[in-house]
Amino acid sequence: QVQLVESGGGLVQAGGSLKLSCAASGRTFSSYAVAWFRQAPGKEREFVAAIRRSVGSTTYYADSVKGRFTISRDNAKSTVWLQMNSLKPDDTAVYYCAADTNVRATKYEYWGQGTQVTVSS
């Protein structure tokens, strides 16, 4: 079992920045790829970014956030971050982190409870 807890969400004006954290506990964190997903009201959950198991490893981004968001991890701290810059109102959603042994998993195995991000225009 892996437990994930997100934090760092909040209300920010368009053009601003937020940094989300995903703290993990349980099994060896370095064994898992981690991804961020988001779900806006009335919309399906969508992929945002992912990072492979090792620090400094390959990252993946949705086209909608590429160049604005950065995912990173510190396995010693069992934490993954999502730095979000140049935020837009369309980025408003509940953001979830998820973990799986396969970064390309179609359905990630472990999920956090989510953190709300609201971007005002």
At 16-29, the pLDDT tens digits run 999 999 999 987 88
pLDDT at residue 57 tops 90 = no
pLDDT at residue 5 tops 80 = yes
| Contact (CB, 8 A) for 70 and 80 | no
Local confidence band at 66 (pLDDT 50, 70, 90 cut-offs): very high
* DSSP tag of 57: -
What is the predicted pLDDT for the residue at 32? Answer: 94
Can you read off the two tokens belonging to residue 106?
């179609």
pLDDT at residue 55 tops 70 = no
User: Cα–Cα distances in Å, from 70 out to 3, 42, 60, 61, 90?
Assistant: 22, 26, 9, 8, 17
Local confidence band at 54 (pLDDT 50, 70, 90 cut-offs): confident
Closest CA to 116 of 32, 31, 49, 18: 18
User: What proportion of the chain, given as a percentage, has pLDDT over 90?
Assistant: 88
Q: Which residues contact 107 (CB under 8 A, 6 or more apart)?
A: none
Q: Which residues contact 63 (CB under 8 A, 6 or more apart)?
A: none
